[in-house]
Structure 1
Amino acid sequence: MARVSQEHLDARRRQILDGAARCFARNGFHATSMQDVLTEVGLSAGAVYRYFRGKEELIGAIASEAFAGIRGAFEEASRATPPPTPDVLLGAVLRLFLEERVEGADRQAFARLIVQVWTETLRNEKLAATLSEGYQGMRAAWTTLVTAYRDSGLLRADVPADHVARTLIAAAQGFIAQQALFGDVTAEVLEDGLRGLMSMSVPGDATAA
């Protein structure tokens, strides 16, 4: 029997994950059966179960990829020196993660899948641990950037860096939620909104730059 190449194995695993993701995005995790996944990918049960023992493993793999994708997009976008301002950085991250990865109407389905992953962590301890690890990594990375902004005089020093980091993460999460619910937002919307907020100053506040 000819030995199956690793490239073939990786491609088959990718096929299964992509098909499962489409099913979950359409109907949700709990309304999707393994038979739905088998039909979507056009493979036998034996072929699929060779890679994943069941729906829970598929959900876990998709969730891990989603978390890693967000963090990877952020790390890639933040390699510039000096680091871009938050509006530019978040816009670049969301383009890498949502707009360049998927096309057109599929972006809303992909965003819906991410929101489903978030909700699934409320009942799945393993997924919750994966999400927590990714979130803590994002907080640490953003805190480092915020400290750099502050050291360069771009940001006032009286607000903890971690508070700014968590707020910026929340902005990205809110953007993804809007895309999932309404499907009518682009990275430019977030960039423009953040840029407008960053330009605000409080009358009479001597600490505002």
Structure 2
Amino acid sequence: MARVSQAHLDARRRQILDGAAVCFARNGFHATSMQDVLKEVDLSAGAVYRYFSGKEELIGAIVGEVLGQVHEGFEEATRSSPPPPPDLLVASVLSRVLATKESLTVDGRPAFPRLVVQVWTETLRNDELAALLREGYGAVRETWTRIVGAYQEAGIMRPDVAPEDVARTMMAAAMGFLAQQALFGPTPAKALGDGLRALMSMRDHSLVNVPETGSN
């Protein structure tokens, strides 16, 4: 019997993960069965179960992969001194992650943002998935905290704000952007970068002359 190459195994695993992601984005985790996944990927049960024991393991693999991509993108920034500014950094990482998922669609629309929202919803009833997300987001937050510390050390960010507070805010911006994509349709990540750049350009309110209001 011919030995199956690693490239073939990797491609088959990718096929299963992508098909499952589309199913989960379409109907949610709870409403999706393994039969739905088998139909989507057009494989036998034996072929799929060779890689994944069931729906829970598929969910964990998809979430772990995405969080790993996001974490690595921001970790790469920590190797620069100073790191790229937040507007460029967030837009760049999101663009790369979205590009790896652009072939996945549901009803002609990108599946990935919908999948992200489905993941958040599922964490309300799935303790194991919630723990996986806490660990993944915790790693991303820790990386962003170090990035903010590097900004402050370089004198390009005000030092009187806790780095973790800034890290949480940048994560909230990225997560909110993905939620908007799920709700309102695709928008280039550049739009998020442009918006952040505009906010970053604002002067301190205490230095701005605010016109007095009142009747003449």
Same fold at TM > 0.5: yes
Q: Which moved more, 1:169-178 or 1:39-48?
A: 39-48
Q: Deviations over 1:88-121 (max 9, x none)?
A: 11111111111x2133884731111112112222
Q: Which residue of 2 aligns with 1:165?
A: 167
- Rounded to whole Å, the distance in 1 between the matches of 2:205 and 2:60 is 50
Deviation at 1:203, TM superposition (A): 4.1
RMSD of aligned C-alpha atoms?
2.0
The answer to whether the 8 A contact 1:87-1:191 is kept is yes
Task: Give ranges in structure 1 of 5+ residues lacking alignment.
Answer: none
| Percent identity between the two aligned chains | 64
- How many residue pairs match? The answer is 205
Q: Is the 1:147–1:161 Cα contact (8 Å) retained in structure 2?
A: yes
Partner of residue 100, structure 2? 101
What does residue 57 of structure 1 align with? 57
Is it true that 1:75 corresponds to 2:66 in the alignment? no
Using a 3 Å threshold, how does the CA distance of structure 1 residues 201 and 91 change in structure 2: closer, same or farther?
same
> Which residue number corresponds to residue 43 of structure 2?
43
Tell me which residue corresponds to 1:154.
Answer: 156
What residue number does 1:5 align with? 5
Task: Report deviation, 1:70.
Answer: 1.7
Q: Deviations over 1:108-140 (max 9, x none)?
A: 311111121122222222222211111111111
Choose 192-201 or 71-80, whichever is displaced more: 71-80
Amino acid at match of 1:195: R
Give unmatched runs, 5+ long, in structure 2: 209-216
Equivalent position of 1:89 in the other structure:
89
> Bigger relative contact order, structure 1 or 2, given CA contacts below 8 A and separation 6+?
2
Give 1:176's aligned residue: 178
8 Å CA contact 1:77–1:92 kept in 2: the answer is no
- Residue 158 and residue 104 in structure 1: after superposition, are their counterparts in 2 closer, same or farther (change >3 A)? same
Q: For residue 148 of structure 1, report the CA deviation from its aligned partner.
A: 1.3
CA distance in structure 1 between the partners assigned to 2:126 and 2:57 by the alignment: 12
Output the CA distance in 2 between the equivalents of 1:83 and 1:174. 23
2:121: which partner in 1? 119
| Counterpart check, 1:189 vs 2:191 | yes
Q: Secondary structure at the match of 1:38?
A: helix
Q: 2:184 and 2:110 mapped to 1: Cα distance?
A: 8
Helix, strand or coil at the partner of 2:146: helix
Whole-angstrom CA distance in 2 between matches of 1:171 and 1:113? 18
Distance in 2 separating the partners of 1:49 and 1:104: 24
The letter for the 2-side match of 1:14 is R
Deviations 1:40-75 (A, max 9, x none): 111111111122122122112111112112212323
Amino acid in the other structure paired with 1:28: G
CA separation in 1, counterparts of 2:24 and 2:32? 6
Structure exhibiting the larger radius of gyration computed from Cα positions: 2
Secondary structure class of the residue paired with 2:110: helix
Between the aligned partners of 1:140 and 1:39, the Cα distance in structure 2 is 40
